[in-house]
């Protein structure tokens, strides 16, 4: 029979994210995360490095490459801080900011809160505010400590499953990716170059061919230059939309 001693049968997952083969898969319980990602999923897109996988839907936990050989069953996932949940399985690569990821999923569960109990209604709201501060480069170590403590309070005192599991993305990203939180707080830097207020778009003068495509496509007209001098991005006006990177055929614009 399929499955493990305690987790029998099969499970259907929605495999998505930065992976070659996406879609619905039915797998036997006990299969490893590695087998799903690299054998069924075909590995990550564009040869990128695996960074994390979020299992269990919006309330699931984020696991690392150290968990690739973890068998997928109820006991193993719970022990690692994830849940089987709705069967969502989101693969993330090296270009993913884990602080931003935790904020993204918490935004969803916070909106879904029915508002009946204070821990979930107000706790998730305050957690979201602290995450936004950290993503904006305005967070402190005290904020991180409060965020972690509040996450456990919400998890342990909410009345229903939504509030009890909503903090999972926050708890697991702090546990497994604390260095990224510290980079946002102490260095005012987003290692994955995702958080808009912690990155700059710059033109490499050595690569710039002075074609003007970036300036013509910029929605806020923050790029200037001419045929004689390389183009330049006004950081005060730049809204970090990324259009300039997309339209530059020479790869002359990057994020720092």
Per-residue pLDDT tens for 110-139? 999 999 999 999 999 999 999 999 999 999
Nearest one of 69, 55, 61 to 11, comparing CA atoms: 55
Please name the residues in contact with 15: beta carbons below 8 A apart, sequence gap of 6 or more. 21, 22, 23, 24, 25, 36, 40, 41, 89, 91
What are the chain's domains? 10-93 (3.10.20.600), 98-186 (1.20.1440.230), 200-255 (3.30.70.20)
* pLDDT level of residue 233 (50, 70, 90 thresholds): very high
Nearest one of 161, 212, 187 to 99, comparing CA atoms: 187
Residue 252 pLDDT > 90: yes
3-state DSSP assignment of residue 1: coil
**Which residue bears the tokens 């946002």?**
184
Residue 2 pLDDT > 90: no
The Cα–Cα gap between 166 and 179 comes to 22
Distances from the Cα of 235 to the Cα of 11, 113, 201, 247, angstroms: 49, 38, 8, 19
Question: How many other C-beta atoms are found inside a 10 Å radius of the C-beta of residue 131?
Answer: 26
* Region 100-104 average pLDDT: 98
* pLDDT level of residue 86 (50, 70, 90 thresholds): confident
Nearest one of 92, 88, 68, 54 to 168, comparing CA atoms: 54
* Region 161-181 average pLDDT: 97
Residue 239 pLDDT > 90: yes
Residues composing the chain:
256
């Amino acid at each position: 029979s399929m499955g493990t001693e305690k987790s029998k049968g099969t499970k259907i997952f929605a495999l998505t994210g930065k992976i070659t083969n996406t879609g619905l898969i039915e797998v036997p319980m006990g299969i490893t995360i590695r087998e799903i990602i690299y054998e069924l999923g075909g590995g990550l897109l564009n040869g990128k490095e695996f960074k994390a996988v979020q299992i269990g839907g919006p309330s699931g936990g984020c696991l690392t490459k150290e968990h690739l050989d973890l068998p997928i069953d109820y006991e193993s996932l719970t022990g690692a801080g994830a849940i089987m949940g709705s069967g969502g399985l989101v693969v993330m690569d090296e270009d993913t900011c884990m602080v931003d990821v935790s904020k993204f999923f918490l935004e969803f569960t916070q909106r879904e809160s029915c508002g009946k109990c204070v821990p979930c209604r107000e706790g998730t709201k305050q957690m979201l505010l602290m995450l936004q501060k950290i993503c904006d480069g305005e967070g402190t170590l005290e904020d991180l400590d409060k965020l972690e403590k509040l996450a456990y309070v919400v998890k342990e005192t909410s009345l229903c499953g939504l509030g009890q599991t909503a903090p999972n993305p926050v708890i697991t990203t702090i546990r497994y990716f604390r260095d990224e939180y510290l980079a946002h707080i102490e260095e005012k830097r987003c290692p994955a170059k995702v958080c808009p207020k912690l990155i700059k778009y710059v033109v490499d003068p050595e690569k710039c061919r002075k074609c003007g495509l970036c300036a013509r496509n910029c929605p806020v007209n923050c790029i200037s230059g001419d045929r004689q001098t390389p183009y330049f991005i006004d950081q005060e006006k730049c809204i970090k939309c990324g259009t300039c990177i997309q339209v530059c055929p020479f790869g002359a614009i990057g994020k720092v």
